[in-house]
């Protein structure tokens, strides 16, 4: 009789991965223990009475593995499918399972880190931090709810697709330029959020006034006529360049304090 993983077991496997994928994270095997943990429900159901088979299955997953948790859930789904096929007599070796894990972990880590960390999280933090800075308690609550919804919802979807479609699921997901379109759209949204945060929360102004005959001209008014918040944009730009060049944050903060104090004493910055 063919062995088929139950929905309950797949649910446990996914939940183990998304919540404990980085348990006992270490430099030797990175997420190896976390991945093995996610396979325990699968292995227990496939080999309920075969202790030796369960031992061998766990050992093949206690190897070096590292990827991004949300996108990497698809690999856990794929491997669950391969374990099921292997338990039913398919010619699947330990090497082939680990080769799939190794082949997919790198690309999915790159995509996952870009989308999850650099785009989704950045956009949500930009919106929610702005709310929090304005005294709205909904800010942190909104971030927790939306980030959790993304983490749980997306990882569950790709896990299920990985199990249903096997190793072709990732190829299908990335086919046709869909991922590129999503990444570009989120990137544009991220730039809009960062721009709005600069305008709302970075306030570099100058009180400097110079006299032309009988006329007094405020420098800030001229700058605002050219580009609103120009000094704030310049400050953020040079800070960004300094970070990219490897200048230590404490040094950047020190320079900011020095410029602020000197500029204030000279009446250039207010």
Go through the chain and tell me how many residues it has. Answer: 270
Does residue 2 belong to any structural domain of this protein? no
Number of helical H runs and strand E runs in the chain: 12, 2
Predicted confidence at residue 170, as pLDDT, reads: 47
Same domain, 97 and 43: yes
Q: Can you tell me the distance from the alpha carbon of 194 to that of 50, in angstroms, rounded to the nearest whole number?
A: 56
Residue 182 lies in a domain: yes
Q: Give yes or no for a contact between 75 and 18, defined as CB atoms under 8 angstroms apart.
A: no
Which residue, 141, 176, 194, sits at the end of a domain?
194
CA distance 16 to 158: 15
According to the model, what pLDDT value does residue 172 have? Answer: 55
Residues 64 and 181 in one domain: yes
pLDDT value of residue 257: 87
Are 220 and 118 contained in the same domain? no
Write down the pLDDT at residue 239: 86
Q: Domain total for the chain?
A: 2
Main-chain phi, psi angles of 132, to 5 degrees:
-65, -40
The answer on 95 and 20 residing in a single domain is yes
Q: Could you tell me if residue 1 is inside a domain? A: no
149 and 214 share one domain: no
Q: Write down the pTM of the prediction.
A: 0.63
Cα-based angle 153, 82, 104 (whole degrees, multiple of 5): 60
Q: Which domain holds residue 237?
A: 203-266
Averaged pLDDT, groups of 10, the chain, 270 residues long: 86 92 83 91 90 89 89 90 85 82 81 81 85 87 92 91 70 53 58 66 79 73 79 84 86 87 82
Q: Does 108 lie in the same domain as 26? A: yes
Q: Residue 60 domain-assigned? A: yes
């Amino acid at each position: 009789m063919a062995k088929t993983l139950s929905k309950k077991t797949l649910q446990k496997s996914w939940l183990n991965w998304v919540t404990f994928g980085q348990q006992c994270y270490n430099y030797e095997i990175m997420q190896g223990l976390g991945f093995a943990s996610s396979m325990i429900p699968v292995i227990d159901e496939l080999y309920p009475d075969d202790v030796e088979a369960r031992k061998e299955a766990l050992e093949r997953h206690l190897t070096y593995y590292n990827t991004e948790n949300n996108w990497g859930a698809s690999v856990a789904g794929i491997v669950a499918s391969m374990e099921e096929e292997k338990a039913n007599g398919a010619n699947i070796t330990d090497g082939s399972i680990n080769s799939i894990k190794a082949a997919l972990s790198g690309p999915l880590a790159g995509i996952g880190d870009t989308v999850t960390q650099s785009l989704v999280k950045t956009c949500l933090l930009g919106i929610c931090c702005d709310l929090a800075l304005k005294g709205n308690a909904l800010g942190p609550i909104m971030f927790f709810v939306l980030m959790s919804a993304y983490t749980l919802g997306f990882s569950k979807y790709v896990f299920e697709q990985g199990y249903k479609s096997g190793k072709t699921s990732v190829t299908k997901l990335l086919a046709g330029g869909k991922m590129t379109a999503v990444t570009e759209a989120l990137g544009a949204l991220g730039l809009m959020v960062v721009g709005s945060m600069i305008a709302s929360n970075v306030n570099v102004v100058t009180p400097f006034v110079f006299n032309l005959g009988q006329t007094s001209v405020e420098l800030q008014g001229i700058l605002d006529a050219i580009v609103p918040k120009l000094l704030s944009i310049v400050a953020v730009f040079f800070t960004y360049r300094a970070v990219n060049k490897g200048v230590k944050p404490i040094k950047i903060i020190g320079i900011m304090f020095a410029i602020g104090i000197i500029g204030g004493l000279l009446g250039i910055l207010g």
